[in-house]
Amino acid sequence: MSNSLLSWLSASFTRKIGGLSTILLSFILIVILYSVVQLNTISREMRELAEIDIPLTQLASEFELKQLEQHILLERIRLASSTTASDSSGQKNLSLQLNEHSQLVQTLLEQAVTVASNALKTHEILDGIQAHKELLNHLEAYARSHEILHARIAQTLALPLDEQNGEEFETAAEQMDLATETLLNQIEQLTEEVADITEGHEQRFLLVDTALGTSAFVIGIYITLYLIVSFRRHMGEIQRKVDRLNHSLQGSSATEISLEPAAGDDELARLAANIDGVLDSFTSEMKNRSEVEKQLLQLATTDKLTGALNRHKWDETLAQEIRLANRGMPLSLLILDLDNFKGINDRWGHDVGDRVLVRTVELIRENVRSSDLIFRLGGEEFALLFRNHSKQQAAVVAEELRQIFEQLEEKNLPPFTASFGITQYESGDSQENLIKRADDALYQAKTNGRNRLELG
């Protein structure tokens, strides 16, 4: 249980919203289904109530009328017996009317019994089955007692209403009135009871529906608040991190940042804008870094004065080029040393000497391929590596350079010459072997008079 709660808490925002929305929708669906079922039941109850209640109420009204008529008839009989005791034809007439009246009452009773029986057979929803059963029993009992009482009254009326007979008449008449009144009360009570049951159902439905609706509303509010609070919390955290990152990329202090979004700001829009800022800063930072790295690499591998590759790069590159030459790619090495450079320095000064060194590299670069590598080994000594060149091809280039130096006439630059020692990679050569052969050739060129080239 706690595990599933933990996994839910750490689930994605989309999953959380989906889960909570499913709960809310299920709840609302239950409320709707419950309402539909209850409303349907209540509507059927109302229909059934109308089907039973209306005919019973009508019958009850007719009973009331019949009771009144019966009362009047009995009164008339009493009156007739007290005033014209000898008029037996009037009494007979009234007796006949009472007979007719009694038959009408019996017909009404039969109708009431039919209504109550039908209610018992066809209506299943109302809880008033027991009450209807009781009413049916009452109706049947009343019908029997009405028949008996009427027979007793008729019997008394068959004779003159003397004192004894009159008493019997009064007793039977009173009992009939009482029985009719009791039955009317029972019918009224039943319809009220049934109405109360339906009303109770309605109230219960309203209560449960209100409770469910309120619960759905509370869940909805809770979900909304939860989402808002979580959203704001996560958004605040992300915002703070982005701000800090942005400021640290821009080199300012993170503590100076206002963390509250500006009033009316859309948090997501603000976050997107800040991420853009971070990306911009990051991109320019990366650009600066790669620029710096490039500069550092250049400083580490090139000679500051001439721009030629330096001694450190020379060792690394020569080893690499020898590995390639070992696989069959021709490689030639040329070592070039300016002649009597000390004399240039002495005569023209160190700065002029520097300019000669710079110009030497420029001239070399202008006259070799871009794939040929130029190194300053130290002082006024340079090395060139020619890939895919034999030493004869390298000698052609060296001769060109020699002539260029020799013939160079430039303002602010003294004349100068150089000597060249040239060799090529032989199978199994080490770095030292290769360099030594070139050095020896250079030495040879120097001893042979300078401003010349020798092959080793």
Ligand X SMILES: Nc1nc2c(ncn2[C@@H]2O[C@H](COP(=O)(O)OP(=O)(O)OP(=O)(O)O)[C@@H](O)[C@H]2O)c(=O)[nH]1
Q: CB 307 → ligand X: shortest distance, Å?
A: 13
Q: Is 342 in the site for ligand X (CB under 6 A)?
A: yes
Q: Is 237 a catalytic residue?
A: no
Q: Is 379 in the site for ligand X (CB under 6 A)?
A: yes
Among positions 88, 117, 175, 340, the unique one binding ligand X when judged by CB under 6 A: 340
**In the structure encoding, which two tokens stand for residue 23, read together?**
């709960």
How far, in Å, are 301, 337, 393, 421, 442 from residue 333 at the CA level?
Answer: 19, 13, 11, 8, 11
Among positions 181, 265, 316, 354, the unique one binding ligand X when judged by CB under 6 A: 354
Q: Is 406 in the site for ligand X (CB under 6 A)?
A: no
Rounded (10°) CA dihedral 58, 170, 149, 159: -130
Among positions 98, 190, 332, 353, the unique one binding ligand X when judged by CB under 6 A: 353
Q: Is 421 in the site for ligand X (CB under 6 A)?
A: no
Q: Is 350 in the site for ligand X (CB under 6 A)?
A: yes
**Quick one: 353 or 421, whose CB is closer to ligand X?**
353
Query: Residue 418: beta bridge partners?
Result: 338
Query: Residue 382: beta bridge partners?
Result: 336, 376
Among positions 45, 303, 337, 454, the unique one binding ligand X when judged by CB under 6 A: 337
Q: Is 113 helix (H, G, I), strand (E, B) or coil?
A: helix
Q: CB 303 → ligand X: shortest distance, Å?
A: 9
Q: CB 374 → ligand X: shortest distance, Å?
A: 16
| Residue 24, burial from CB neighbour count under 10 angstroms (0-12, 13-18, 19+) | middle
Q: Are 382 and 360 in contact (CB under 8 A)?
A: yes
Q: Is 241 in the site for ligand X (CB under 6 A)?
A: no
Tell me the site size for ligand X, rule CB under 6 A.
15
- Residues of span 167-226 touching ligand X by CB under 6 A: none
**Quick one: 45 or 303, whose CB is closer to ligand X?**
303
Q: Which of 78, 65, 99 is nearest to 180 (CA)?
A: 65
Distance CA 187, CA 132 (A): 9
**Quick one: 48 or 380, whose CB is closer to ligand X?**
380
**Concatenated DSSP letters of 399-447:** HHHHHHHHH--BTTB----EEEEEEE--TT--HHHHHHHHHHHHHHHHH
Q: Would you give the distance in Å from CA 6 to the centre of its chain? A: 18
Distance CA 332, CA 65 (A): 140
1 secondary structure, DSSP code? -
Cβ-closest position to ligand X:
353
Non-local (6+) Cβ contacts of 35 within 8 A are: 205, 209
Strands 453-455 and 381-387: unpaired
Q: Of 64-72, 250-258, 273-281, 337-345, which part binds ligand X (CB under 6 A)? A: 337-345
Q: CB 370 → ligand X: shortest distance, Å?
A: 25
Q: Is 442 in the site for ligand X (CB under 6 A)?
A: no
**Concatenated DSSP letters of 158-181:** HS---HHHHHHHHHHHHHHHHHHH
Q: Which of 51, 380, 400, 432 is catalytic?
A: 380
Q: Is 303 in the site for ligand X (CB under 6 A)?
A: no
Q: CB 254 → ligand X: shortest distance, Å?
A: 49
Among positions 341, 382, 405, 420, the unique one binding ligand X when judged by CB under 6 A: 341
Q: Is 347 in the site for ligand X (CB under 6 A)?
A: no
The continuous run of DSSP H or E covering 395 comes out as: helix 391-407
**Quick one: 216 or 377, whose CB is closer to ligand X?**
377
Distance CA 85, CA 81 (A): 5
Q: Is 294 in the site for ligand X (CB under 6 A)?
A: no
Q: CB 302 → ligand X: shortest distance, Å?
A: 14
Q: Is 345 in the site for ligand X (CB under 6 A)?
A: yes
**Quick one: 48 or 339, whose CB is closer to ligand X?**
339
Q: CB 407 → ligand X: shortest distance, Å?
A: 19
List, by residue number, the catalytic residues: 380
- State the residues that interact with ligand X by CB under 6 A: 305, 337-342, 345, 350, 353-354, 357, 379-380, 446
